[in-house]
Structure 1
Amino acid sequence: MADTTRQPRLLPWPSPEGKPSYLVTDGEKGHVSRLADRAEAVQLAACADVLVLAREVLDDPQSPYTEVRYAGLRLAECLADALRVAESRGLRLAPAD
């Protein structure tokens, strides 16, 4: 019997309209759940890579404005991805007693 009290899973990609996408599942690890898990892992790994590269740019006081701006834009994108992953995972945690 499916658990109807489960929260829909926030997916790591937006809908075609740019709105949050959700997956309603019976809790089994289906194809879309596994795809979302892999997408989250890729996003977080990319965030770690961007952070390393951005630190190099930001640590150099001679970095051109365009490089600093580009690093800031990529960091903002990564922060949005990481917050979405955190929200999705937080929604799937069992409620505290």
Structure 2
Amino acid sequence: MDSLRSLRLLPWSSPEGKPCFLDAEGEGTGYVSRLADETEALQLAEGLDVLGEARRVLEDPVSPHVAVRYAAVRLAECLADALRVAESRGRRAAGR
């Protein structure tokens, strides 16, 4: 299990949908680590934007069904991204 702790869960999946990992030994300042940091930041920022739009849709009692469904789909996508970021950061914090 210790070998898994030294692997960083990346914020993207393989073409087959499998998780991608990076050997996190060292300071994590390499190109892929920086790309992962930037991707995580973008995913979290997008989640905030989607949350704001979803709240506007849900606060309107006459929002069309399709708008509510779209908001729910986008929220689910962003939640999955945020949970992946949290898992990745939790693994790294536990490994320190």
Residue in 2 aligned with 1:83? 83
Q: Choose between structure 1 and 2: higher helix proportion.
A: 2
The offset of 1:6, in angstroms, is: 4.9
Aligned residue number for residue 73 of structure 1: 73
The aligned counterpart of 2:16 is: 17
Q: Matched residues in 2 for 1:44 and 1:83: separation?
A: 10
Kindly provide the amino acid, as one letter, of the partner of residue 80 in structure 1.
A
Following TM superposition, the consecutive aligned residue runs of length 4 or more in structure 1 with deviations greater than 3 angstroms are: none
Deviation at 1:82, TM superposition (A): 0.2
Q: Which moved more, 1:17-26 or 1:57-66?
A: 17-26
Aligned length: 93
How far apart, CA to CA, are the structure 2 residues paired with 1:44 and 1:78? Answer: 8
Structure 2: 5+ residue stretches without partners:
none
Secondary structure in 2 matching 1:62: coil
Post-superposition shift, 1:7? 1.9
Specify the code of the residue in structure 2 equivalent to 1:8.
L
Corresponding letter in the other structure for 1:17: E
After superposition, residues 1-97 of structure 1 pair within 5 angstroms as 6-28=5-27, 29-94=29-94
Asked whether the 8 Å contact 2:54–2:75 carries over to 1, the reply is: yes
Code of the residue aligned with 2:26 in structure 1: it is G
Q: Percent identity?
A: 66
Q: State TM-score, norm by structure 1.
A: 0.89
**Alignment root-mean-square deviation, CA:** 1.7
Larger Rg: 1
Unmatched segments (≥5 aa) in structure 1:
none
SS in 2 for 1:63: coil
Would you say the 8 A contact 2:7–2:22 is kept in 1?
yes
